[in-house]
Amino acid sequence: MPLHADPDVIWVVTEAPASPNIQTDGQRGGWGNNPFGEPGFAGRTQRTPVSTDALEQNMSSFLSRMGRVLSRARQSATEVAGMELEEIVLSVEVSGEGQVNLLGTGGRLGTSGGITLTFRAKLSA
């Protein structure tokens, strides 16, 4: 079966476990002939299968909880500042276990990783 053929799995690129620091004869470090030390995140990735059912359940749960937070934020913007909250942009990441996590300040996000969710207020008719 081809790697992407299972309809019940989504592949997530995650950080691979760090390599052990192996001492070799005649060398001071464990990174062989690499004078620059350990490779960066891009050099240590792995593909991890995540169940679409688990991801769907976790995303739905995250969006449900986030919906409550956003509803209160919208209400507070109106009550406190007399403003209307029009748009909120959030960045989330999916772990190798299918967990959906909000990226806060200092969150590590690869150059093209993560998911951006944009919520806009409904236009009233």
The model's pLDDT over 71-118, given as tens digits with 9 standing for 90+, comes to: 998 889 888 888 888 888 999 999 999 999 998 876 555 545 688 989
Does the pTM surpass 0.85? The reply is no
Residue 101: predicted pLDDT: 92
Average pLDDT, the chain: 79
Q: Could you tell me which residues are beta bridge partners of residue 116?
A: 91
Residue 100: predicted pLDDT: 94
- Helices assigned H by DSSP within 1-125: 52-81
Share of residues in the chain with pLDDT > 70 (%): 70
Q: Return the amino acid letter for 82.
A: G
For residue 68 the two structure tokens come to: 């409550």
Where is average pLDDT lowest: 2-6, 18-22, 78-82, 92-96? 18-22
Return the half-sphere exposure (C-beta side, CA atoms, 13 A cut-off) of residue 101.
Answer: 14
For residue 99 the two structure tokens come to: 């967990």
More confident position, 4 or 57: 57
Strands 45-51 and 9-15: antiparallel
10 Å Cβ neighbour count for 98? Answer: 20
* Residue 26 in this model has a pLDDT that exceeds 90: no
Q: Torsions phi, psi of 51, nearest 5?
A: -65, 130
Burial label, 16 (beta-carbon count in 10 A; 0-12, 13-18, 19+): middle
Q: Where are the domains of the chain?
A: 9-120
Most confident of 32-36, 41-45, 94-98: 94-98
Sheet containing strand 87-94, strands side by side: 100-102, 87-94, 115-120
The predicted model gives 48-59 an average pLDDT of: 95
